[in-house]
């Protein structure tokens, strides 16, 4: 009976291919959920700091200054999260790779690329939310309720 080498390799790595598909789906879901969480956090911060934003606008702050203020608040959170996540993910991946006969080395660029992409997505979400908040009339935010 004849066998194709490709079929033998596919049979050997069937569980890894299934794991890859599952991890891809969960990664996309977690990215969407984290984006919703960021939008929720920024919206909450804007609601709490509406008067501050209005006073800054009245005193001459530009929209980009207020956006940078909010981005730096989240940059601290992202920095701490990356400081924890990068070593943990490196250890997990390194141990996982040890189970294979033919191994590849872990490239450092992937551990830099992921936080950069997450930071860019976060900055884009923050920019959109804060941009619309700063375009409102500051006099309406300062009025006494």
DSSP string, the chain: ----HHHHHHHHTHHHHHHHHHHHHHHHHHHHHHHHHHHHHHHHHHHHTHHHHHHHHHTT--HHHHHHHHHHHHHHHHHHHHHHHHHHHHHHHHHHHTTSSS--PPPHHHHHHHHHHHHHHHHHHHHHHHHHHHTS-HHHHHS--
Q: What is the pLDDT of residue 99?
A: 81
Residue 105's domain spans which residues? 5-142
Mean pLDDT of 9-30: 89
pLDDT of residue 86: 93
- Average the pLDDT over each of 1-5, 53-57, 112-116, 141-145 and give the range with the smallest value: 141-145
Contacts of 131 (CB under 8 A, 6+ apart): 63, 67
The model's confidence at residue 106, banded by pLDDT at 50, 70 and 90, is confident
Percent residues over pLDDT 90 in the chain: 30
> Between 102 and 90, whose confidence is greater?
90
Overall number of domains in the chain: 1
- Contact call for residues 32 and 118 (beta carbons, < 8 A): no
User: Which pTM does this prediction carry?
Assistant: 0.74
Q: Which pLDDT does position 85 carry in this prediction?
A: 92
Per-residue model confidence (pLDDT) at position 5: 83
């Amino acid at each position: 009976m004849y066998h194709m080498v490709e079929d033998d390799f596919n049979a050997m790595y069937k569980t890894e291919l299934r794991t890859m598909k599952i991890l891809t789906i969960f990664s996309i879901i977690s990215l969407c959920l984290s984006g919703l969480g960021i939008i929720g956090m920024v919206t909450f911060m804007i609601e709490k700091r509406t008067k501050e934003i209005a006073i800054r606008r009245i005193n001459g702050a530009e929209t980009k200054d207020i956006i940078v203020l909010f981005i730096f608040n989240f940059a601290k959170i992202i920095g701490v999260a990356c400081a924890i996540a990068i070593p943990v993910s490196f250890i997990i991946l390194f141990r996982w790779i040890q189970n294979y006969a033919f191994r590849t080395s872990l490239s450092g660029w992937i551990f830099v690329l992921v936080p950069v992409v997450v930071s860019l997505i976060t900055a884009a979400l923050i920019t959109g939310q804060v941009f619309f908040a700063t375009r409102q009339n500051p006099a309406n935010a300062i009025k006494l309720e």
